[in-house]
Amino acid sequence: MRATKVSTSLKAEVAALKRRRILEVATDLFYDSGYENTTLEEVADRLKVTKPFIYSHYSSKARLLADICELGIACSLAEINKVLPSSVGPEQKLRLFGEGFVLAVIGSQKQLAIYNREEKNLEPEDVQRIGRMRREFDRKLNVLLDEGVARGVFRIEDRELATLAIGGMVSWASVWYRPRGRLAPDTLATRITNLIFNVVRCDDARAPDRARTAPKQR
């Protein structure tokens, strides 16, 4: 019985690895050449496998596109899910979220670029599912901003507009960020997060930074 469970688990891990490799290659091709200009034969050729191998894991090119687009949104959603349950104050939550959000966006740059460019090619049900994920992200960011307003540390005239402004400012990094650009990812994350604090008009945007980096008292 135990051997059967181990075997089943191993098969699932192998299948997940194969799907991940297919996604990686498809992401590179869709990003470089566009979804409509890329065929599954090209994906298979890049992987040095047969087209039936692709179909054994993905029923269509559209399914590949949906998974790629969903990955880009899921990474950002994961960052807000990390900080919301935390017991730290809203300023620190916002800083942790902001820096994580920036790093998630530049880490998912290709997936997000594909989503923005190829959303028109998604199946209607995939558009709706990913749209729900985006709305969930906005709703949870609203919760975080509301907490800061309720505690008197954020001053926001229009919370929903602030949510859209923060999301747009960070998401736009997927368009202009370059790995060999002027700023390293960590520095970029800190500086964009400082700009986020300007949106919420926190009295001391850098206070969480100082609290986090201050030397421990002996």
Domain boundaries 1-58, CATH class? mainly alpha
Place of tokens 């200009």: 37
What's residue 11's pLDDT?
77
Domain with CATH 1.10.10.60 in the chain: 1-58
pLDDT in tens, 77-131: 999 999 999 999 999 999 999 999 999 999 999 999 999 999 999 999 999 999 9
Greatest CA separation for the chain? 64
CATH topology of domain 61-213: Tetracycline Repressor; domain 2 (1.10.357)
Q: State the pTM of this model.
A: 0.82
Average pLDDT of the segment spanning 205-214: 42
Listed in order, the ranges of the chain carrying CATH 1.10.357.10 are 61-213
CB-based contacts of 77, cutoff 8 Å, min separation 6: 133, 136, 137, 140
pLDDT in tens, 24-50: 999 999 999 999 999 999 999 999 999
Q: What is the pLDDT of residue 3?
A: 54
